[in-house]
Structure 1
Amino acid sequence: MENNVIKNRYEFVMLFDVENGNPNGDPDAGNMPRTDPETSFGIVTDVCLKRKIRNFVELYKEGEGGYNILVKADRSLNSKFTEAYDALGLEKKQKGKNTDDVKKAQGYICDNYFDVRTFGAVMSTGDDPCGIVRGPVQLNFAKSIDPVYVQDITVTRQAVTTDKDFNEKKQSEMGKKSFISYGLYRAEGYVSAMLAQKVTRFSEDDLELLWTAIINMFENDRSAARGKMCLRKLYVFKHESALGNAPAHILFDKIKVERKAGVEPPRSFGDYEITVDRNMPEGVEFIEKL
């Protein structure tokens, strides 16, 4: 895998939308769609997007060595760290005193877990810690292009929960459902060749898998709560060098997304116009993945 480690820096822009759904519930607000309280723009966290990428990779690469997922609800993280020590025959329960062993275990985790190789992880807990890994791929929060209006509606169910309610002839139960009618979101991300080379050995194959996962991350993640979610566009900026050939913000500014004149309120992707300045700085290649 080391010979295939990426050698170029990348930035990328994702555009995705939601129709009649909740793209990312906020536990601090009764699981209503996340919004900026000062502007009412919709928010989807980086953690939410990474979860969808992890879930797709797990489905797509199920059972294939090197593509396990560390951050998932199958067993404790500490037990996975100990597994790395067992696999390498390292002395356990040293609480990280042997830094060479920690580095070896960390390398094992990076080689075997795609999400650590990609996003990094904090693995400094338990009797057999594996240190802290800063991943080469990072995402910003996604933000809606326009403010979103959150609706909270009442829904009914023709099935009661308890025997008591059933015996008392209760006909239905009520609940709440929070959603937005439509929102187009923009998220930006970064891929660092320097971190890939020095730390996780994130490879060209991993990079292609990342693009595939982003394009398909909503396709196998359907639920009644999330409504209709689609990745609409994936734009990639590829630098000639590992350190990069232009500042990220200059490249991000090449892509403008604006609501079409006279559209109020927006209710579809067609209500927006995307303008791309394809005149790139020297040493940067623009790639439209979707």
Structure 2
Amino acid sequence: MMALNNRYDFVLLFDVKDGNPNGDPDAGNLPRLDAESGHGLVTDVSLKRKVRNFVGLVKEQDSRDPQPGEKRFEIYVREKAILNNQHQRAYSALKLDAPEEASEEFALEADEPAGKKKKTAKEKRKGSADDVDQARKWMCQNFFDVRTFGAVMSLGTNCGQVRGPVQLTFARSVAPIVALEHSITRMAVATEAEAEKQQGDNRTMGRKHTVPYGLYIAHGFVSSFLAKQTGFGEEDLELLWQALENMFEHDRSAARGEMATRGLYVFKHDSELGNAPAHELFKRVSAKPTTEIPRDFENYKVTVNDTDLPTGVTLIRRVG
């Protein structure tokens, strides 16, 4: 795989209509928002989850029946995964002795003098630096999200820590959002006891939260220096762009309403260090509502200033 030799900065525009783009579990699953300004928020974790889901979907066949040298697109953080089992796979594949796990309590070793302390779990978990380094490289080679976003894999069986070359910010809505709350009814109950209480009416009441409409902007960064450390290459980068463009198309649910990527603007630097500050490039992509109460993407004007770009910077992709 070709290594990255350029820095990239990108702007992602996406919208939601009559849905909840990212509920806050600490607030009854209400759409996340900035309490001071009223602007909606979507966490970077939520966006990464959708990228992972898309990659897992399009590379599912590779994961089920990988050919030698092609098993590169598994997903480390997936639903119901036991992460320590993934770490153990690295040690098994490399025929390394996984560090033992033990309690933090002190105990006597049968073959050691009385009073000598037994190693704690933290001490045993560390393993040798060489083993951890090999395991970390194996995890980067086999898991797309590890070499893309990084991961902390030092718990349990130690595979070290990886700082990912691709980072995303929280997405923020262009205009303040309104979070609506709807009462919903299910024409059924779960148990006989509930049915008896309702004397056969058998209705269950619930609530649903939606945003009538919101256009969100997120910023992202790709470091070629960190990409070389994790093995993130040109093929991975192209898959990332594909995921950002199409991730909402394969993440439909009643709760999310209509969500879609409306724009992906990628600034490519000629050098690895970069040829302009990221924040100056991000200013070149802006969106403003054209009506007092925007309720559709057509109610916004998106402006992209691609003239007189800084020397060494190219706008290489525009979607939307």
TM-score by length of 2: 0.87
Query: Are residue 107 (structure 1) and residue 137 (structure 2) matched?
Result: yes
8 Å CA contact 1:70–1:113 kept in 2: the answer is yes
8 Å CA contact 2:127–2:158 kept in 1: the answer is no
**C-alpha displacement at 1:74, in angstroms?**
4.1
Q: Which residue in the other structure is 1:179 paired with?
A: 210
1: CA distance between counterparts of 2:48 and 2:81? 19
Q: Which residue in the other structure is 1:170 paired with?
A: 201
- Secondary structure, in 3 states, of the residue corresponding to 1:217? helix
- Secondary structure, in 3 states, of the residue corresponding to 2:281? helix
8 Å CA contact 1:58–1:67 kept in 2: the answer is yes
Q: 2:57 aligns with which of 42, 56, 59?
A: 59
Q: 2:83 aligns with which of 63, 70, 77?
A: 77
Query: Are residue 140 (structure 1) and residue 169 (structure 2) matched?
Result: yes
8 Å CA contact 1:46–1:141 kept in 2: the answer is yes
Show structure 1 runs of 5+ residues with no match.
none
| Cα RMSD after superposing both structures | 1.0
2: CA distance between counterparts of 1:67 and 1:196? 16
Q: After TM superposition, list the pairs within 5 Å mapping 1:1-150 onto structure 2.
A: 1=1, 4-64=2-62, 65-93=71-99, 94-126=124-156, 128-150=157-179
Query: Are residue 267 (structure 1) and residue 295 (structure 2) matched?
Result: yes
**C-alpha displacement at 1:162, in angstroms?**
1.6
Q: Which residue in the other structure is 1:204 paired with?
A: 234
Q: Structure 1, residues 38-62: CA drift from partner, whole Å, max 9, x if none?
A: 1110000000000000000000011
Q: Percent identity?
A: 52
2: CA distance between counterparts of 1:151 and 1:75? 34
8 Å CA contact 1:160–1:170 kept in 2: the answer is no
**C-alpha displacement at 1:165, in angstroms?**
2.9
**C-alpha displacement at 1:250, in angstroms?**
0.6
Query: Are residue 161 (structure 1) and residue 190 (structure 2) matched?
Result: yes
Q: Structure 1, residues 109-148: CA drift from partner, whole Å, max 9, x if none?
A: 000000001000000100x201110000000000000000
Q: Which residue in the other structure is 1:195 paired with?
A: 226
- Secondary structure, in 3 states, of the residue corresponding to 1:218? helix
TM-score by length of 1: 0.96
Q: Which runs of 4+ in 1 moved over 3 A?
A: none
**C-alpha displacement at 1:92, in angstroms?**
1.5
Larger C-alpha radius of gyration, 1 or 2?
2
8 Å CA contact 2:172–2:217 kept in 1: the answer is yes
2: CA distance between counterparts of 1:194 and 1:241? 11
Show structure 2 runs of 5+ residues with no match.
63-70, 100-123
2: CA distance between counterparts of 1:147 and 1:8? 36
8 Å CA contact 2:22–2:42 kept in 1: the answer is yes
**C-alpha displacement at 1:171, in angstroms?**
3.7
For 1:172, the aligned partner's letter is R
Q: Which residue in the other structure is 2:279 paired with?
A: 249
For 1:228, the aligned partner's letter is E
1: CA distance between counterparts of 2:31 and 2:186? 22
- Secondary structure, in 3 states, of the residue corresponding to 1:95? helix
Corresponding pairs, count: 284
